[in-house]
Amino acid sequence: MRKIAIALLFASALILGACGNTASKKKDAGTKSDVSLQEQYLTQDLIIKIDSLIAGFQQLGVMPHMKAIDEGTLVLTDREKRVKPTYLMPLARVNELITLNQKCRALAVYAVDREIAQLYEMPLEEYDKVIAQLMVDTDNVSLMEGAEIKVEVNALDVNSWIVTMGKEQLGKEQMHLFFETIAAGIMESLYITSLDIPRYITYFNDQTASEVSYRFLLVVEGIKSLMPYHPELESIRGILEPLNVINAINVKQLEEQLNTLAVVIADGRNKLLD
């Protein structure tokens, strides 16, 4: 299960767990002559654009402070570990989730939170149970199969995994869930980072700081492109909109923007599972 959480971290903070449902979109045989945009699903031009966005995510990798947590180079003192974080998303919220969109967002949020829980040496069993159940609920086939394979070899082919997830969502005509999950992972990562900027900012350099802006741009562009096909993306679009000002190109600017936007980030994050 640890590798499952790592996989989510790689792809959506980036952090991404492209979630889906195996149920194919049903078409009414009596309306075949009246084909809407939704029934056509994506145009070829948009598919090319989405492929380009996915390629952008592939190139970014994991946020440096999250990578440091996973690799054990970001550690806490025994005294720090005794003060457990109270800001993680309550696991009980999973019982309130109804829509597939909510569950996909939750999958990314809890994957990020699990890393922080591990950093503080908190029990992980409940996180593992919740994440496993969300993978089943969202029928995240690529993640479940990929995690199982990578556990066996103790490695993660992140690039292949991201592409597989994207293809899975496209095939299910649920590409919007791919971007819903990316957005949730980014929001949760930014939220946690904004709560302890002095600790986490030291793991960034100018390149990785600028990549935070690029991640955000990619997910916003993906959501914008899919809005005509999936108007339900309006919810996550509204959550992200106040953060469109994120445009840092170096560490100093990222630190300033995280400080300035801390309240806005917290407000957006708290709406993710509504």
DSSP output for 67-86: HHHHHT-S---HHHHHS--S
Q: Which residues contact 191 (CB under 8 A, 6 or more apart)?
A: 87, 265, 266, 269
Residue 183 placed within a domain:
yes
* Domains held by the chain: number: 1
Cis? peptide before 14, omega within 30° of 0: yes
CA angle, corner 260, sides to 83 and 117, nearest 5?
Answer: 25
pLDDT tens per residue across span 153-175: 333 344 444 555 555 555 556 77
Q: What angle do CA 122, 125, 128 make, to 5 degrees?
A: 115
In this predicted structure, the answer to whether residue 255 has a pLDDT above a threshold of 60 is yes
Q: Structural domain of residue 13, as residue ranges?
A: 2-21+41-270
The pLDDT of residue 136 is above 90: no
Q: Assess if residue 112 is contained within a domain.
A: yes
CA triple 24-25-26, angle to 5 deg: 110
**The most confident of 27-36, 174-183, 200-209, by mean pLDDT:** 200-209
pTM to 2 decimal places: 0.80
Cα 266 to Cα 271: distance, rounded to the nearest angstrom: 9
Q: Is 138 within a domain?
A: yes
pLDDT at 265 over 70: yes
Q: What is the mean pLDDT of the chain?
A: 79
Q: What does the pLDDT read at residue 157? A: 43
Show the tokens assigned to 143: 């993640």
219 φ, ψ (degrees, to nearest 5): -70, -40
**Residue 46: pLDDT band by 50, 70, 90 thresholds?**
confident
* Residue 251's pLDDT band (cuts 50, 70, 90): very high
Mean pLDDT calculated for residue range 207-236: 93
Residue 26 lies in a domain: no
C-alpha 178: how far from chain center: 8
pLDDT band, very low/low/confident/very high, at 124 (cuts 50, 70, 90):
very high
Mean pLDDT of 128-137: 88
* CA–centroid distance for 81 within its chain: 26
Would you say 224 and 168 are in contact if contact means Cβ atoms under 8 Å apart?
no
DSSP 42: S
Between 50 and 102, the more confident residue is 102
Contact 123, 84 (CB under 8 A): no
Contact 251, 206 (CB under 8 A): yes
- What pLDDT, on a 0 to 100 scale, did the predictor assign at position 38? 41
pLDDT of residue 212: 94
Q: Please check whether residue 140 lies inside any domain of the structure.
A: yes
Task: Work out the percent of the chain whose per-residue pLDDT is above 70.
Answer: 73
Residue 31 included in any domain: no
In a domain, 32, yes or no: no
Give a yes or no: residue 35 inside a domain: no
Please give the radius of gyration of the chain, using alpha carbons only, rounded to the nearest integer.
Answer: 18
pLDDT greater at residue 259 or residue 163: 259
